Amino acid sequence: MIAKLWKTGIALAALGGLYALSIYKHAERDEMRAAPVALTPGCADKLARYGLVADKFYRSPYVKARGGEPRAARGYSADDLRAIERGCNIIDDTQGELAKTSLERWNATRFIRGTQLKCDNCHQQQGDKQDAHGNRLKGSISLGASWVMADMYDRFTGLLLPYELRQMQCFINSSNGYKPNIADDLIRDVTAYSRFLSAALDLRIANHYEEQGIDEIAASDTLKQGDDYVRGEAIYRQKCAACHGPQAQGKVVNRRVFAPAIAGPNSWNMQSRNYFYFVNTILPGFICRNMPLGQENTLSNQECRDIAYFISNLPRPAGDKQGPLMALQQQLLMGVIPPLVRATERVTAPNGTSIREGDE
Amino acid sequence: MRALALRWGTALGGFNSHLVVGLTLALVTLPQAVAFSVTLAGVPPHFGIYAAIWGVLFCALLNPSPVFHGGPNTAMSAAVGVTLLPLSAPFGAEYMGLALTLGLLCGLIQLLFWLIRPLGRMLDLISEPVINGMICGIGLFLIFRSLTTFGGLPLNTEVEWPLWIAWQSFLAVLEIGNPYAIEIGLITLATCIVVQQVERLKSWAILAGIAAGTLYSEYLNRKYGLGSTLVEQIGNLSSIRPFTASVPTFSQEAMHDIVAIVPGAVTLALLGLFQTVAALRRMSRKAGGYADTRAAIFSDAVTNCALPFLSSLPSCASFNRMWLVHKLGIHSRVTIAMSAVLLLLLVLFFARAIAVIPMPAMAAIIMLLGCNMLKWEDIKPHVTNKREAVVFFGAFLSVLFLDLFGAVLVGAVLAIAYSKWEQAHPNVSLTGNVLKIRGNIYYGSLPVIERIYHDALARGERLVIDFSQAYYIDPEGLRWLAAAKNTGHAALIDRRSGIDRRAVAAAAAAAERRSGWDRRTDGRPATPSERRARRDRRRKPQL
């Protein structure tokens, strides 16, 4: 009888403890929600330029600066303001390099397996890439332009894909990570920021814009020489290796990511649409329109396809749905091939001067 | 008169018990049916509810086991979603038609397993450590799977649930879960735990838990309004009829898709049968009975052939509901059939009352069932034996890191490997010049036996091979024994009866006959003197 009472007591105490822990965690999160946001330099500049303040109405300075007449859109409350600011911070500094605590980014690193990738690597300039004259750039995967196409049918799966689910796909595949819950503040804040961008840029729901998504490059957009690994490797070494490293494993300087890994354990996985063997038009499109930084649009379509083909042949993690065997195989390849290549290069390089993987 | 009253009283008491257990089963099956169909299979809730009514009823009628509970199943519902998602949009007419076709194909494939007896026998290659490992894995699976609903969060995953996502879900419940939902779930759990301690009220525990959770949810809704509490409820089921006739898609234009779903149908069929056989064997043993798995295969196959014509998901054994039947202590097909009828009546007449049952309370009940499946008494016997522990943990971890089908495959491979390993290592002892073999003498164990035999021969002794305790000797074993005898270094004895010795002698002679030594070159049988001469020639080395 006493043993039974003890057992019941322990079970009830465990339930009580769980409740107390959840109350504590909720309070911690509420506190963070109410706290002022320390913006990253990029976000501070961007949001100041777009005139984000708490007000009843919002009129876009961007539209005004480009000679348009800004319409009075619904304004933002102080809560909205903080959500937008946190959203921008998450995009600009997903790994929390500039944050005091991981909770400032809603523990975003919990949903990314690697230590290098952040949203801004693909969605450049905080998801709103522009040239020096403020022109939005074709194929720059603008978050604002993506938001206005939210809840549209996804052409790859044929499913109605809400913006929140699209973000989850990014976390699973492009960051080779895990799904945050769809109700997580992480997803809500990025959605709030993306929605603000669309208002700031005066983008209209369901319209198509050039900066939306990728300017895909199919084989038919080339002179049909075929995608070539050797050519790809040569161009990669010439144009990309200086930043991303000879084996595309990224470059970290003083514990800050200088250029992210585009292969290996810190990169996107084989289920990502960036993976050439899954969708062979997206990575070439991204490369042509966004790379090398500062020299965008200088590579030919065929060169972009060759580089994408080469990168995708380097070992990278398997996707969740590809099963444990494929995951094991890729882990083995990622563990074995880079040191093997390094050793080979050390032997074959003239005068023993092999290219070192950049401070990784 | 008094005796008659007593008999009626006992019968009424028995009926009451059936009713309570049936009602509990019906209430536990209902949310699972809704959740499996909508979140896993991508079909409307009535698909799952019909599986919980007609699937359970058909199985209760066709399957003689008193512990078997069919109906919708997690892994099978998920397999439907995985198979059909690439072909069509969920909840669409085309998708539903293909779901029915998939169910019918699954039933037909299962029928093959019944018709071809050796095929069905293959399903028995799942040992108890595998089954227990799977049960423990599924217990954890149910706990983690229910976490998001428990915390009032949207379901995080479509079809897959690796352990790490379950961990993220736990953290999400703690950090961003709906506090009202968490409170409802905890009250349900606490009520169940407390009521379970009172022996007389044990079978009412789950109903009491659901009642407490629902009352608290109603209190919250009255106080704050459903718009503020945002607690998910089962919802309106008033459109459901006793049955809805349907026809699986078999049109010319759909042929391409139908061919594409055949591998999925095979997976679905195997998934269902493996679970049915494993759960039936486990639970029958637990209840102290025996169940014929062939009858279970037949009942599953026929049920799954019929269900697609009733707008239903396929059915197979449910570990957690069978566990519940066992825990409630009533092993009867009447109770199980009654649960299906009660569910139908509940859906038909109490749809509005059922509609307000909160989903967190349902999730709490499923979590409790999961906890009940993790019993140390069931785990302990497998941990004491090292090899069995490997099989047990292999199956357990496979459920957590692969999926149910993967777990069954890994478990079956481990079980076969385990049994082969045991067979291949007989107990061979050398006492004096007697080489005693306890175990099997077959191609797998011969290397072990031969090593000890030749070690002993190397000492220069003439050996006596005692195989009186050999369970099984295969032709290769017989040839080895015959060869050992023929070399003249060893004699064969059977101390106990001599019967085995004669049998071995006869078998050895038969083996030699097969090798052709007693035949003349023209194929006619050799005479005794010819045989003797030839045997002598074989023994003497040719110079």
pLDDT above 90 for A332: yes
- pLDDT of the residue at B387: 78
Rounded to the nearest angstrom, the minimum Cα separation between B385 and chain A is 28
Lowest mean pLDDT among A74-83, B179-188, B213-222, B313-322: B313-322
pTM above 0.80, yes or no: no
Put simply, the answer to whether B186 touches A158 (Cβ < 8 Å) is: no
Do B435 and B289 belong together in one domain? no
- Residue A347, Cβ neighbours under 10 Å: how many? 9
Q: Find all residues with CB under 8 Å of A196, minimum gap 6, and list them.
A: A50, A52, A76, A84, A87, A144
Put simply, the answer to whether A181 touches B176 (Cβ < 8 Å) is: yes
Do A192 and A235 belong together in one domain? no
- pLDDT of the residue at B541: 43
Lowest mean pLDDT among B52-56, B491-495, B525-529: B525-529
Angle among Cα B36, B40, B45 to the nearest 5 degrees reads 45
In a domain, A359, yes or no: no
Cβ contacts (< 8 Å) between A158 and chain B: which residues?
Answer: 89
Final residue belonging to a domain, choices A200, A234, A260: A200
- pLDDT of the residue at A158: 64
Per residue in B400-442, pLDDT (tens digit) is 777 666 776 787 788 788 878 888 888 888 887 888 888 888 8
- pLDDT of the residue at B318: 82
Q: Inform me whether the C-beta atom of residue A23 falls under 8 Å from chain B C-beta atoms.
A: yes
The larger pLDDT score, comparing residue B311 to residue B83, is at: B311
Write the CATH number for A303. 1.10.760.10
Write out residues 182-241 of A within 8 Å (CB-CB) of B. 182-185
Write the CATH number for B443. 3.30.750.24
CA–CA gap between residue B48 and residue B29 (Å, rounded): 9
Helix (H) or strand (E) holding B469: strand B463-473
Do B44 and B137 belong together in one domain? yes
Backbone phi, then psi, for A205, in 5-degree steps? Answer: -50, 135
Rounded to the nearest angstrom, the minimum Cα separation between B83 and chain A is 13
Beta bridge partner(s), residue A152: A161
Question: Which residue in chain A is spatially nearest to B181 when comparing CA positions?
Answer: A19
Put simply, the answer to whether B160 touches A320 (Cβ < 8 Å) is: yes
DSSP label at residue B39: I
| Domain total of chain A | 2
Mutate to test the interface with A, among B174, B216, B397 (most CBs of A within 10 A): B174
Do B172 and B80 belong together in one domain? yes
Q: Inform me whether the C-beta atom of residue A4 falls under 8 Å from chain B C-beta atoms.
A: yes
Q: Which of A179-188, B118-127, B159-168, B174-183 has the highest mean pLDDT?
A: B174-183
In a domain, B3, yes or no: no
Q: Inform me whether the C-beta atom of residue A180 falls under 8 Å from chain B C-beta atoms.
A: yes
Put simply, the answer to whether B175 touches A25 (Cβ < 8 Å) is: yes
CA–CA gap between residue A267 and residue A174 (Å, rounded): 8
Final residue belonging to a domain, choices A155, A170, A200: A200
- pLDDT of the residue at A267: 93
Do A192 and A261 belong together in one domain? no
For residue B505, the enclosing domain spans 427-539
Do B381 and B453 belong together in one domain? no
Put simply, the answer to whether A22 touches B179 (Cβ < 8 Å) is: yes
Q: Inform me whether the C-beta atom of residue A13 falls under 8 Å from chain B C-beta atoms.
A: no
Lowest mean pLDDT among A325-339, B80-94, B468-482: B80-94
Do B72 and B219 belong together in one domain? yes
For chain B, the first-to-last Cα distance in angstroms comes to 101
Per residue in A15-67, pLDDT (tens digit) is 999 999 999 999 999 999 999 999 999 999 999 999 888 889 999 899 888 88
pLDDT above 90 for B213: yes
Rounded to the nearest angstrom, the minimum Cα separation between A235 and chain B is 37
Do A195 and A225 belong together in one domain? no
In this structure, are strands A73-74 and A57-58 parallel, antiparallel, or unpaired? Answer: antiparallel
Cβ contacts (< 8 Å) between A25 and chain B: which residues?
Answer: 174-175
Closest CA to B309 of B458, B103, B8, B116: B103
- pLDDT of the residue at A190: 95
pLDDT above 50 for B239: yes
In a domain, B189, yes or no: yes
Question: Which residue in chain A is spatially nearest to B172 when comparing CA positions?
Answer: A181
The burial class, CB within 10 Å (0-12 / 13-18 / 19+), for B16 is exposed
Per residue in B380-405, pLDDT (tens digit) is 888 888 878 888 888 888 877 776 66
In a domain, A208, yes or no: no
Do A248 and A335 belong together in one domain? yes
Beta bridge partner(s), residue B441: B473
CA–CA gap between residue B171 and residue A336 (Å, rounded): 34
Query: Which percentage of chain B shows pLDDT scores above 70?
Result: 84
In a domain, B443, yes or no: yes
Residue labelled with tokens 């059909």: B84
Per residue in A242-286, pLDDT (tens digit) is 899 888 898 888 888 899 999 999 999 998 989 999 888 999 999
Residue B92: C-alpha distances to residues A257, B43, B52, B249, B259 (Å):
46, 8, 22, 13, 19
- Six token digits for residue B437: 């073999």
Mutate to test the interface with A, among B84, B167, B176, B194 (most CBs of A within 10 A): B176
Per residue in B241-254, pLDDT (tens digit) is 888 889 998 888 88
The burial class, CB within 10 Å (0-12 / 13-18 / 19+), for A69 is exposed
Residue A76 contacts residue A54 (beta carbons within 8 Å): yes
CA–CA gap between residue A29 and residue A185 (Å, rounded): 9
Prediction ipTM score: 0.79
Do A190 and A44 belong together in one domain? yes
Do A74 and A182 belong together in one domain? yes
At A327 the three-state DSSP class reads: helix
Query: Which percentage of chain B shows pLDDT scores above 90?
Result: 15
B199: confidence class by pLDDT, cuts 50, 70, 90: confident
- Six token digits for residue A54: 């708490």
Do B406 and B333 belong together in one domain? yes
For residue A140, the enclosing domain spans 38-200
Per residue in B440-459, pLDDT (tens digit) is 888 888 888 888 888 888 87
Q: Inform me whether the C-beta atom of residue A11 falls under 8 Å from chain B C-beta atoms.
A: yes
Per residue in A68-98, pLDDT (tens digit) is 888 888 899 999 999 999 999 999 999 998 8
Do A173 and A268 belong together in one domain? no
- pLDDT of the residue at B519: 46
Q: Find all residues with CB under 8 Å of B423, minimum gap 6, and list them.
A: B439, B440, B442, B444, B445
Rounded to the nearest angstrom, the minimum Cα separation between B198 and chain A is 10
Per residue in A91-118, pLDDT (tens digit) is 999 999 888 888 899 999 888 888 899 9
Rounded to the nearest angstrom, the minimum Cα separation between A39 and chain B is 23
